[in-house]
């Protein structure tokens, strides 16, 4: 049994979907960002980074989305969520996920989290102005070079798919014109039709609307 600490509209949706895909038993625990619950003393014991996702496992707590996704895939090999027997294909998938966490998600975060990297309101505004360009460059690269299709890694669905889908929720708000990245948008649409994706999103939004 796992316990996933999540917040709606964050990258914790990616491991949430992957847990559904894996068939693992898990429970959800919502962290309320509107009350800055991620900085509460109780949550800092779970994740001293004050971020989501965090996943409690029988062996200990995991953080960082790419690591968590690979762990889910390796723990449930029958779900075939990663090319576990092919180190090169596994590395290609990990490379994709690493780009999402270290480049795409970081570019996006400059829209609302500029205080992580600067002090002045004028800098935050300047960062926000650049987000359509910096996030757009990432999506252009994903569109042209990285998304093999129909799934991220080609014919086989992997943990890279829920991760791209999750971050792609935000691209219009980041000011990226979806018309310039038709393959990414087609991938997002196809992902949104999967029952596990619908279930994960519905679970997060149902709790959100009751909160």
Residue list 99-128, contact with its own copies (CB under 8 A): 99, 101-103, 105-107, 110, 116-120, 122-123, 126-127
Task: Please report how close the Cβ of residue 105 comes to its own copies at its closest, in angstroms.
Answer: 7
Which CB, 27 or 120, lies closer to its own copies?
Answer: 120
Cis status, amide bond into 119, omega within 30 of 0 = no
Give CA angle at 91 (87, 95), nearest 5°.
Answer: 180
- Residue 68 touching its own copies (CB under 8 A): yes
| Count of other CB atoms within 10 angstroms of residue 96 | 22
- Residue 64 touching its own copies (CB under 8 A): yes
Which of these segments, 33-41, 92-100, 184-192, 201-209, binds its own copies (CB under 8 A)?
92-100
CA atoms within 13 Å, Cβ hemisphere of 126: 7
| Count of other CB atoms within 10 angstroms of residue 35 | 10
Cα 207 versus chain centre, distance: 19
- Residue 67 touching its own copies (CB under 8 A): yes
Going edge to edge, which strands form the sheet with 2-6?
Answer: 26-30, 2-6, 54-57, 60-63
- Residue 70 touching its own copies (CB under 8 A): yes
Which CB, 148 or 198, lies closer to its own copies?
Answer: 148
Task: Please report how close the Cβ of residue 120 comes to its own copies at its closest, in angstroms.
Answer: 5
> Residue 166, class by beta-carbon neighbours within 10 Å (0-12 exposed, 13-18 middle, 19+ buried)?
buried
Binding site for its own copies (CB under 8 A): 48-49, 57, 59-60, 62-68, 70-71, 74-75, 87-88, 90-92, 94-95, 97-99, 101-103, 105-107, 110, 116-120, 122-123, 126-127, 129-130, 134, 141, 144-145
């Amino acid at each position: 049994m796992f316990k996933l600490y999540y917040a709606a509209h964050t990258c914790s949706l990616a491991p949430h979907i992957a847990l559904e895909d894996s068939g693992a038993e898990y429970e959800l625990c919502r962290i309320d960002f509107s009350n800055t619950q991620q900085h509460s003393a109780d949550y800092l014991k779970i994740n001293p980074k004050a971020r989501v996702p965090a996943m409690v496992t029988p062996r200990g707590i995991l953080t960082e989305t790419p690591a968590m996704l690979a762990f889910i895939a390796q723990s449930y090999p029958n779900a075939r969520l990663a090319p576990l027997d092919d180190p090169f294909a596994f590395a290609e998938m990990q490379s994709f996920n690493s780009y999402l966490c270290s480049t795409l998600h970081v570019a996006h975060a400059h829209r609302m989290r500029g205080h992580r990297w600067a002090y002045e309101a004028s800098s935050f505004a300047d960062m926000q102005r650049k987000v359509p360009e910096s996030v757009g460059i990432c999506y252009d690269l994903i569109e042209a070079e990285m998304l093999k299709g129909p799934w991220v890694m080609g014919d086989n669905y992997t943990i890279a798919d829920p991760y791209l889908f999750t971050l792609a929720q935000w691209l219009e708000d980041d000011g990226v014109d979806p018309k310039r990245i038709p393959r990414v948008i087609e991938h997002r649409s196809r992902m949104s039709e999967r029952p596990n994706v619908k279930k994960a999103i519905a679970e997060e939004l149902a709790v959100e609307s009751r909160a």
